[in-house]
């Protein structure tokens, strides 16, 4: 039976160097050769995940910004959806940057990004160079963005998330990326990976029971619960392990996703 394999990136398909290992790459390609479909479902924007889409040779719809953008890269697709947040909300949060103990505030859409200060700008992290046009100002960002991203220290992440939800919870949801850096992503209320994955599955005409999804963090919870078979990584948080149908024996640093799929789909 054809399966849809939904893969989170950070902490799941990617190793601790934020790369797809050769084993994971080849295992996913073997799965596709066996007739299964693979879709990336990530909190990352497209420009920070397109290299993995290309590395795997995918042609399926991709979910970015935790579901706020569903698209087929480099194609005009009638089913593409992009759900924005309010531009005014972004600048309201930016005004609280010091009180919230944020390192930087960034806003993004499918095509570009804006960041409030170049002091924290890393071209490798943003997967693009920056110019003065990328500064987060009312002059530069004139439309509603798809997502907002803030960075804080690990020790403050939970407090920041709670405070943002307290103030703006009627309009947005706050998700954590996972991985070594404390990144909180802010998307429109009701946006979640499960919603994006459902859109992908319907397009590919694959039933919910035939979806196997892998994840490790808070933003994967609904996706793992929605999938016919949800798999938490060995390095996943306890709440994610509780909602999953199974847990990999190995971590993302040990090619846990690849090892699991080799056995589950008899690919070895």
Q: Are residues 207 and 75 in the same domain?
A: yes
CA–CA gap between residue 234 and residue 189 (Å, rounded) = 29
Is 45 within 8 Å of 78 (Cβ atoms)?
Answer: no
CATH number at residue 108: 3.30.1240.10
Two tokens at 76? Answer: 């005009």
**Residue 8 annotated in active site:** yes
Among candidate residues 8, 173, 198, 216, the one labeled active-site is 8
Residue 124 pLDDT: 82
Both 168 and 205 in one domain: the answer is no
Which pTM was predicted?
Answer: 0.90
Residue 177 confidence (pLDDT) = 67
Q: Which of 188, 211, 246 is the last residue of a domain?
A: 188
Radius of gyration of the chain (CA): 18
pLDDT per residue as tens digits for the range 51-107: 999 999 999 999 999 999 999 999 999 999 999 999 999 999 999 999 999 999 999
Together in a domain, 157 and 250? no
Question: Which of the listed residues 161, 188, 215 is the one where a domain comes to its end?
Answer: 188
Do 73 and 203 lie in one domain? The reply is yes
State how far Cα 52 lies from the chain centre. 13
**Could you tell me the residue range of the domain that residue 214 belongs to?**
4-82+191-265
Its sign, for the CA torsion 188, 194, 198, 199, is positive
Whether residue 130 is found in the same domain as residue 92: yes
Which residues, 6 or more positions from 33, have their beta carbon under 8 angstroms from its beta carbon? none
pLDDT band, residue 111 (cuts 50/70/90): confident
Give residue-wise pLDDT tens across range 208-218. Answer: 999 999 999 98
């Amino acid at each position: 039976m054809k399966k849809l394999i939904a893969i989170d990136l950070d902490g799941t398909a990617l190793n601790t160097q934020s790369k797809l290992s050769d084993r994971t790459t080849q295992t996913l390609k073997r799965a596709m050769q066996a007739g299964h479909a693979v879709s990336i479902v990530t909190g990352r924007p497209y420009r920070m995940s397109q290299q993995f889409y290309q590395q795997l040779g995918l042609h399926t719809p991709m979910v970015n910004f935790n579901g706020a953008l569903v698209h087929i890269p480099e194609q005009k697709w009638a089913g593409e959806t992009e759900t924005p947040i309010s531009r005014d909300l972004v600048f309201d949060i930016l005004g609280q940057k010091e009180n919230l103990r944020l390192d930087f505030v960034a806003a993004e859409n499918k095509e570009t990004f804006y960041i409030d200060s170049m002091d924290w700008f890393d071209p490798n992290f943003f997967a693009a160079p920056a110019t003065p046009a990328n500064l987060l100002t009312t002059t530069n960002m004139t439309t509603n963005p798809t997502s907002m991203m803030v960075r804080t220290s690990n020790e403050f992440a939970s407090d920041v998330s709670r405070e943002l939800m307290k103030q703006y919870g009627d309009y947005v949801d706050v998700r954590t990326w996972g991985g070594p850096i404390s990144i909180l992503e802010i998307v429109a209320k009701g946006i979640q990976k499960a919603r994006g994955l459902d859109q992908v599955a319907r397009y590919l005409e694959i039933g919910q029971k035939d979806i196997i999804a892998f994840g490790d963090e808070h933003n994967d919870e609904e996706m793992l619960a929605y999938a016919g078979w949800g798999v938490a990584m060995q390095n996943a948080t306890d709440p994610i392990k509780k909602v999953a149908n199974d847990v990999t024996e190995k971590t993302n640093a040990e090619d846990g996703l690849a090892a699991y799929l080799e056995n589950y789909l008899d690919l070895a």
